[in-house]
A and B are shown apart, each in its own frame.
Chain A
């Protein structure tokens, strides 16, 4: 009897896994392996490639544009993630106060995150327009600048502008997730701390941060993952320009592989993202998650 149920359960379990497994194996696992293989070939669109060993990788390491894209990706990810974290945490702390219309604020703040990035990027494109930018218009009127700012035309300005747009889009996710974490911290901890005479800063440093660390680790890991592999925002705003100054590895691999036709080289570039991505994830996950989650604390 028991054996029959056990049998059933295994058979049924595998049967239930079939739809998900077929889709994922065919369109996720297989392409992942194929991508690694393509990276070692000189496949072009419409022409099957041959195995060329590490040629693609050697070429990419010597290619100044590819190296620049690596630099850009690291810069973009680190600056945007730090900003998203600081601003997101600040916003979460603000939202955690007893506010009138709290749920309204929470709903409105998530908007940038749910709207298609490609479409909100168009709004940023227009806001960053070199001739009709509203930011330039305001700064002009205030007398702070005398020519319109070339937001997307100057390399460093373009980097800053794309990072700003990415931060704009990422803050809601960080803020709302951290807010959920904040709401699980028991108020009695703060009451005890203030009876002991802790200043608000000490309370933040010694209660809020340690209690929030596990969630911060997860949220920032995801945030780093999404930022590192970002594609849409750059593709819409600059297509990697000016002078490849904003090319990320994802946009460069698209450009080499699809319009450029060099599937092998593009795949190699995409695969190159993996070690860096793993390093970034491990860093943000284990670097932040030093303390285990200890409900209630053990002081």
Chain B
């Protein structure tokens, strides 16, 4: 540990072999451990069953890759339907949350209406309420509203954790936009609504992207609500479908399970790879505020 902290400016003081021992090798181990499960997912999903269930031979490499697991998954299970559901639920709830959050964040941060401070604080506390203490009463409410086992159950409940997060993030972004711009527009006769649409939003696009992809990922990954509020196969989301329907009996179909996990992870991984910087700034921004 002692050697870990050197400053950016003084790195040249470290000799090359020492740098290997204190930086590159530990970092290599970290990266290996963090990525191994993904490598293993890929390997397993392309392996034929005989290879999966044999202890001889080298399990780390593919000898005869096969697409059989993907074929089974896509044509003999409701998996494509789950993908579609997850997509619909995530996109709609993200959109709903973004609209609500933009309005709320603007009201709290810029309109400064009476009670804006307590409202901001309430939003922050709402963010701290974990889904695992809400799902039981929520299930009762969802049932009473007649939404049980529909996509609406998920679309309407996901904003409970998306709105606090997005509002908090956007409040930080709005704070960084200079007041003068808004004052100028007010003097020129713009209404608040025009200011929000024509001045604030275009300037807050990076914040909107951060909040949007974050919300999308959170709803794509959501599990406990989807597990509780939905029971028929046609409306399940990918994580829940894979866990509840592909796992059956005593014989696990590891190949198709892994293929399901892989395909279900790809959309978020792809979106993430395009927007890494926004993602990181969203995450660290939310923590630092």
User: Given A27-B160, A191-B7: A118 and B242 within 8 A (CB)?
Assistant: yes
Determine whether A83 belongs to the interface, using a CB cutoff of 8 Å to chain B.
Answer: no
Determine whether B215 belongs to the interface, using a CB cutoff of 8 Å to chain A.
Answer: no
List chain B residues, Cβ under 8 A from A17: 103-104, 107-108, 113, 119
List chain B residues, Cβ under 8 A from A213: none
Taking a contact as CB atoms under 8 Å apart, the answer to whether A94 and B30 are in contact is: yes
Determine whether B87 belongs to the interface, using a CB cutoff of 8 Å to chain A.
Answer: no
Chain A proximity mask over B38-57: 1 for CB below 8 Å, otherwise 0: 10110010000000110100
Chain A's interface: helix, strand, loop or mixed, by majority? helix
Complex alpha-carbon distance, A95 and B165, angstroms? 27
Taking a contact as CB atoms under 8 Å apart, the answer to whether B5 and A115 are in contact is: no
Complex alpha-carbon distance, A228 and B137, angstroms? 19
Nearest CB in chain A to that of B111: its residue: A13
From the candidates A19, A115, A134, name the one contacting B265 in the complex (CB within 8 A): A115
List chain B residues, Cβ under 8 A from A8: 192
Taking a contact as CB atoms under 8 Å apart, the answer to whether A263 and B140 are in contact is: yes
Determine whether A171 belongs to the interface, using a CB cutoff of 8 Å to chain B.
Answer: yes
Taking a contact as CB atoms under 8 Å apart, the answer to whether B261 and A122 are in contact is: yes
Chain B proximity mask over A165-194: 1 for CB below 8 Å, otherwise 0: 000100111001100110000010011001
Determine whether B70 belongs to the interface, using a CB cutoff of 8 Å to chain A.
Answer: no
Determine whether B190 belongs to the interface, using a CB cutoff of 8 Å to chain A.
Answer: no
Complex alpha-carbon distance, A194 and B240, angstroms? 54
Complex alpha-carbon distance, A270 and B138, angstroms? 12
Count A-side interface residues using an 8 Å CB cutoff.
104
Taking a contact as CB atoms under 8 Å apart, the answer to whether A90 and B40 are in contact is: no
Taking a contact as CB atoms under 8 Å apart, the answer to whether A137 and B284 are in contact is: no
| Residue of B11, B40, B130, B268 with most chain A CB atoms under a 10 A cut-off | B130
Taking a contact as CB atoms under 8 Å apart, the answer to whether A119 and B34 are in contact is: no
Whole-angstrom distance between the Cβ of A7 and the nearest chain B Cβ: 10
Taking a contact as CB atoms under 8 Å apart, the answer to whether B55 and A258 are in contact is: no
| B-facing residues in A107-132 (Cβ within 8 Å) | 107-112, 114-120, 122-124, 126-127, 129, 132
Chain A proximity mask over B127-151: 1 for CB below 8 Å, otherwise 0: 0111111111111110000000000
Taking a contact as CB atoms under 8 Å apart, the answer to whether B5 and A254 are in contact is: no
Chain B proximity mask over A200-231: 1 for CB below 8 Å, otherwise 0: 11011000100000010011001001101111
Taking a contact as CB atoms under 8 Å apart, the answer to whether A108 and B35 are in contact is: yes
| Residue of A91, A98, A122, A190 with most chain B CB atoms under a 10 A cut-off | A122
Taking a contact as CB atoms under 8 Å apart, the answer to whether B156 and A27 are in contact is: yes
Determine whether B173 belongs to the interface, using a CB cutoff of 8 Å to chain A.
Answer: no
Complex alpha-carbon distance, A268 and B103, angstroms? 36
User: Given A16-B106, A108-B31: A215 and B258 within 8 A (CB)?
Assistant: no
Whole-angstrom distance between the Cβ of B196 and the nearest chain A Cβ: 9
List chain A residues, Cβ under 8 A from B2: 199-201, 204
User: Given A23-B160, A99-B23, A204-B1: A120 and B265 within 8 A (CB)?
Assistant: yes
Determine whether B205 belongs to the interface, using a CB cutoff of 8 Å to chain A.
Answer: no
Taking a contact as CB atoms under 8 Å apart, the answer to whether B136 and A98 are in contact is: no
Determine whether A31 belongs to the interface, using a CB cutoff of 8 Å to chain B.
Answer: yes
From the candidates B27, B123, B126, B254, name the one contacting A105 in the complex (CB within 8 A): B27
List chain A residues, Cβ under 8 A from B94: none
Taking a contact as CB atoms under 8 Å apart, the answer to whether B287 and A177 are in contact is: yes
Complex alpha-carbon distance, A207 and B86, angstroms? 46
List chain B residues, Cβ under 8 A from A168: 33-34, 37
Determine whether B279 belongs to the interface, using a CB cutoff of 8 Å to chain A.
Answer: yes
Complex alpha-carbon distance, A116 and B272, angstroms? 13
Taking a contact as CB atoms under 8 Å apart, the answer to whether A19 and B103 are in contact is: yes
Complex alpha-carbon distance, A27 and B155, angstroms? 11
Complex alpha-carbon distance, A203 and B4, angstroms? 10
Taking a contact as CB atoms under 8 Å apart, the answer to whether A115 and B269 are in contact is: yes
Could you list some 28 contacts between A and B, CB below 8 A?
A: A16-B104, A16-B107, A17-B104, A20-B101, A23-B156, A24-B123, A30-B137, A32-B137, A90-B26, A91-B27, A103-B276, A105-B27, A108-B31, A118-B239, A119-B239, A119-B264, A126-B40, A134-B40, A215-B288, A218-B287, A235-B227, A253-B136, A254-B227, A258-B136, A263-B140, A270-B132, A270-B133, A281-B128
Can you list the 3 inter-chain pairs with the closest CB atoms, starting with the nearest?
A13-B113, A190-B7, A118-B239
Given contacts A17-B113, A109-B34, A218-B287, 7 further A-B contacts (CB under 8 A): A16-B111, A90-B26, A122-B242, A132-B55, A172-B34, A180-B284, A204-B5
A interface residues with partner B (beta carbon < 8 Å): 8-10, 12-14, 16-21, 23-24, 26-28, 30-32, 34-35, 38, 43, 87, 90-91, 93-99, 103, 105-112, 114-120, 122-124, 126-127, 129, 132, 134, 137, 168, 171-173, 176-177, 180-181, 187, 190-191, 194, 199-201, 203-204, 208, 215, 218-219, 222, 225-226, 228-232, 235-236, 250, 253-254, 257-258, 263, 266-267, 270-271, 273-274, 277, 281
